[in-house]
């Protein structure tokens, strides 16, 4: 499932594909993914030139001439793919035909992704964007900031980190990886973390995002986003590695369930016996 690094990779790829391009036509194959309606979005986009792609947490903000803006979310399985005109792809939901003869396809097996039309000038202030906490890549994240945002929280720190209003862009994998790197027990109450633990978690967040971005390759060269759930190589330290030896202390890695999601962790590094 795409988290901040995968969406950032997608932003870079889309910016390269769309640079200087004009949209000739939008074809909507799955109308329920598009708002306010397939017809309205297609009418607004046709003939407009791309101006820029930004990312806020897991949202892509695309701007075009004519004050046309799009918010795009990849959902669970969404991906943008570029092909020469005339090709049909599996799980094809949207097709954006460009003036250079390419078509950008939005493929989405599970159909939790979506695309919304808004004025480009209003994208950054949409309620869904304004409600986000700090984005580690864009806004930075340090120990004191994280401690302030976790203050008073009675939730487990792993669950709190996945709250987009606390820190934006972090999902199940990045939260577990950051806590492993910080040697912090994912079950600890978020509001009880010490300043040193918060500093370590903030550092862990930056490290795991950088590591995941590097594992995707350069968006200036590579076209395809890699999802580890689809059989891609697992670049993570603990995710989906239950039973394997911890890369630091060799204790077998474990899995527990928090908020309905699997947390992979090291009982040796992250909860050393007192
Ligand atoms: Zn360990």
Provide the token pair at 165.
């209003």
Question: How do beta strands 34-35 and 114-119 pair?
Answer: parallel
Distance of CA 250 from the midpoint of ligand 1 (Å): 6
Report pLDDT digits (tens) over 66-98: 999 999 999 999 999 999 999 989 999 999 999
DSSP state of 16: H
* pLDDT reading at 253 higher than 70: yes
Distance of CA 178 from the midpoint of ligand 1 (Å): 13
Report pLDDT digits (tens) over 111-142: 999 999 999 999 999 999 999 999 999 999 99
How far apart are the C-alpha atoms of 211 and 174, rounded to whole Å?
10
Positive or negative: CA dihedral 258, 262, 268, 270: negative
- Predicted pLDDT of residue 21: 98
* pLDDT reading at 273 higher than 70: no
Average pLDDT of the chain, as a whole number: 96
Catalytic residues: 2-3, 58, 261
Distance of CA 181 from the midpoint of ligand 1 (Å): 10
* pLDDT reading at 274 higher than 70: no
- Predicted pLDDT of residue 230: 77
Summarize the confidence of residues 218-240 as an average pLDDT.
Answer: 87
């Amino acid at each position: 499932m795409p988290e901040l690094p995968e969406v950032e990779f997608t932003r870079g790829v889309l910016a390269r594909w769309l640079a200087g391009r004009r949209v000739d036509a939008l074809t909507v194959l799955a109308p329920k993914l598009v708002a306010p309606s397939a017809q309205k979005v297609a009418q607004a986009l046709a003939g407009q030139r791309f101006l820029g792609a930004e990312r806020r947490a897991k949202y892509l903000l695309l701007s075009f001439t004519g004050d046309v803006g799009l918010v795009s979310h990849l959902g669970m399985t969404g991906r943008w793919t570029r092909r020469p005109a005339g090709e049909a792809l599996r799980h094809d939901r949207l097709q954006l035909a460009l003036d250079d003869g390419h078509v950008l396809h939005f493929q989405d097996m599970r159909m939790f992704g979506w695309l919304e039309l808004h004025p480009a000038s209003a994208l950054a202030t949409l309620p869904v964007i304004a409600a986000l906490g700090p984005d580690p890549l864009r806004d930075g994240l340090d120990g004191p900031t994280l401690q302030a945002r976790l203050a008073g929280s009675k939730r487990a720190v792993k669950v709190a980190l996945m709250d987009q209003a606390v820190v934006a862009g972090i999902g199940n994998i990045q939260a577990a990886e950051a806590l492993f790197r910080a040697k912090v027990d994912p079950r600890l109450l978020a509001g009880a973390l010490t300043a040193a633990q918060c500093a370590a978690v903030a550092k862990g967040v930056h490290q795991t995002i950088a590591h995941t971005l590097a594992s995707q390759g350069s968006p200036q060269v590579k076209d395809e986003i890699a999802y580890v759930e689809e059989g891609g190589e697992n670049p993570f330290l603990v995710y989906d590695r239950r039973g394997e030896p911890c890369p630091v202390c060799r204790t077998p890695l474990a899995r527990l369930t928090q908020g309905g999601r699997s947390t992979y962790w090291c009982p040796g590094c992250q909860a050393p016996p007192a």
